[in-house]
Amino acid sequence: MSPIDQHLLALEPQARERVWGGQRLRPSNPPIGEMWVAYGPSRVMGGRYAGRTLDDLAVEFGPDLMGTAIAGRNGARFPLLVKLLDCADWLSVQVHPNDEQARRMVGPDEPGKTEAWYFLAAEPDSQIILGVKPGVDQAQLGRAIRGGSIGDVAAKLDVLAGEAVLVPAGTLHALGPGLLLYEIQQASDTTYRVYDWDRPTSTGRKLHIEESVEVTRAVVAAPAVRPAVPAGTGTSDAIECPYFDVDLVWVAADGGPLATDTAGRRFHILTVLAGEIELARGGERLGLGRFETALVAGSAGAYEIWATAGPATMLRAAVPD
C-alpha cells in the first residue's frame, strides 16, 4: 500500500433539497435543507486527489487516510456523516435503530445511527423534540406511535445557539423551525419516520410505524449542554460518545496558530463556523472559509490552524480511538 502524499483534503459539499429547508445554506427553490459536508462519497476539491471520494482513498490508503486506530474498524465504510441543516419548518418526528437492531432489521453490515447536534443559530422560541415526557412507559409510547398521537408523549425542549445535544439511537427526536445547525452521525441512512405533521405521504416520506415501535425507547433525554468557549486560542469538548467526539475550536486573530496533532491514529474533520482559516502541515497549505470542510488524514501528524481574517471558530470531529 503506497503512502498518501496529500494530507489536507478540502471536501466538496453536496446539497439536498428538503420540504422543510430554508435559504441560509444556499438560496434555492425547492429549498436546501441539508448540506452533506463530509462522508464516504464526499469528493476532494483540488490537489493530487481532486475528484476522488473518501471511500476511494480509504480503500487505497487505509491507515494513512483513516489513522492506525480507525482503519479496518468499520470494514470499507467511512464511519461518519457530517451535515449542515437549515430548518424552516418542523422535520418529521423520527427514530434510528442501534447497531444490533440495524444488523437485524436492515442488513448484516449496516450500522445503527447515533447522532448529535450543535446549534449555530436559533430564532426566538426555537424548539426540538427529544425523548419522551417523564412518566411515559414503553406501552404508552407504542400506543401513541400506532395511534398517531405522538405529540401527547413527546418531550419538547427550548434550544439556543451554542448548545449541543446528543441523540442516542432509539431516542425519539425532531428539529423545529428557525434552527441552523451542525449534525454529526454514524454513517447510516436508516431513518424510521414516526410522524410527519400531516404532510402528504410520498415514496420518500412514508411512515415506519412498526419499525418505530420496535426501536424507540421510552427515555427522558439528557438536556442540551453549552460547551465552554475557549478564552483565546484553544479547544473545548462539545460532544462525546462511543462513535464520535467533537471539539469546539477557537483561534484568535493575533495569537499565533493552534498546534494540534492526529498522532497518526485518527483523521480529523474540520468545519469552519465563523471566520477564515489556513491549515498548515509541512509544505502543505489549505484555506477554508465559513461552512467549508476539510479532512486531515490520519497520518498527517502535527499540523497548525491559523486564523486569517479575524478570529475563527470551527468544529473538529474524530472517531474515538
- Quick one: pLDDT band at residue 76, thresholds 50, 70, 90? confident
pLDDT at 203 over 70: no
247-288 pLDDT, tens digit per residue, is 999 999 988 999 999 999 999 999 999 999 999 999 999 999
Q: How large is the average pLDDT for residues 126-139?
A: 98
At residue 202, the pLDDT reads 62
pLDDT at 35 over 90: yes
162-195 pLDDT, tens digit per residue, is 999 999 999 999 999 999 999 999 999 899 999 9
206-235 pLDDT, tens digit per residue, is 899 999 999 999 999 999 999 998 888 999
Q: What is the DSSP string of 143-183?
A: HHHHHT-GGGTEEEEE--TT-EEEE-TT--EEE-TTEEEEE
Catalytic-role residue among 16, 24, 52, 193 = 193
What pTM does this model have?
A: 0.96
In the three-class reduction of DSSP (H, G, I as helix; E, B as strand; rest coil), residue 110 is classed as coil
- Annotated catalytic, 193? yes
The set of cell numbers assigned to 82 is 457530517
Give the sign of the dihedral formed by CA 304, CA 310, CA 311, CA 317. Answer: negative
Provide the mean pLDDT of the chain.
Answer: 96
